[in-house]
Structure 1
């Protein structure tokens, strides 16, 4: 925002886990410009193999607003909305060109590979598969969508090789 003039811009909106569609529909019902980029991936279910549409950035979507107080509150009152992403000065706008690029990327039929989700030393939890519920420390990527997670027990480490889609980063614990 420049001075007192409110200008419309895109902002990233953090949502509750797996609430991206709920927030998207809620904001659309409030006649706000909203963009939830989705990609097609193979379902990870054991009983069937089908292609499903999932958010490109889990836990985030984009909303276009001028941040007038009434609209800002309406965005945050939407079920599942957490906060607009920004700094201590407030929400940070995202360039229109970036949103346009994302729209082009998700409209193509080609495979979209997203960036690194974990860095060495991140605390993670396995959320699906035979190791579901196990917490550990992310070690490395193995390729083919596999990761290595170190688990400490009795003062020793054991490493497990799991699917990257079955692992979620745990929030950092503030000391």
Structure 2
């Protein structure tokens, strides 16, 4: 039996819930993070659930189900990192579930590192290493990492860093 992982998939706009239902009907475990928000109509205010990540949802599958996912109406493709479908760690899905069960009207704020800010690397061979932003150019960030009493300076794509 192959190991199952969580993967992120990209859907047509406003198809997140439909795709989640279509996949569930095919016995595929999905998670579409839904945010509870208040919406105002002319005659009332109502609490509705909207996707937290527009056009994205998560599936828990092994690699043999990739084609089945791609053939589902509304699915555009998997989210790729370094040429392979991106694996989402179990604890990240659990963390999103817990957060959304506890809070309403959640906002997504993009991470934009600033000079001298402490950051942590979240991908690659230096995963979970902390460092300090030295320089920023376009989507590339130069990070200084202290190790063995030396300063290693490396250039990273902004998407590989998180706030520390």
Global fold match (TM > 0.5): yes
Give the unaligned 5+ runs of structure 2: 113-164
- Structure 1 residue 75 and structure 2 residue 61: aligned? no
C-alpha separation between the residues in 1 aligned to 2:26 and 2:57? 15
Within a 5 Å distance, the mapping from 1:147-162 to structure 2 comes to none
Q: Is the 8 A contact 1:105 1:112 kept in 2?
A: no
> Partner residue of 2:99?
105
- Structure 1 residue 48 and structure 2 residue 41: aligned? no
Q: Aligned with 1:18: secondary structure?
A: coil
- Structure 1 residue 23 and structure 2 residue 19: aligned? yes
Q: Aligned with 1:111: secondary structure?
A: coil
C-alpha separation between the residues in 1 aligned to 2:36 and 2:58? 19
Runs of 4+ in structure 1 displaced over 6 angstroms?
Answer: none
> Partner residue of 2:84?
90
Give the number of equivalent residue pairs.
112
Q: Aligned with 2:54: secondary structure?
A: coil
> Partner residue of 1:141?
none
Change (3 A) 1:14 1:102: same
Shift of the alpha carbon at 1:49?
Answer: 1.3
Q: Aligned with 2:107: secondary structure?
A: coil
Shift of the alpha carbon at 1:112?
Answer: 4.4
Give the unaligned 5+ runs of structure 1: 120-175
**Aligned partner of 2:109 among 116, 127, 148:** 116
Q: TM-score, normalised by structure 2?
A: 0.62
Q: Aligned with 2:45: secondary structure?
A: coil
Larger % of strand: which?
A: 2
- Structure 1 residue 63 and structure 2 residue 69: aligned? no
Q: Is the 8 A contact 2:38 2:105 kept in 1?
A: no
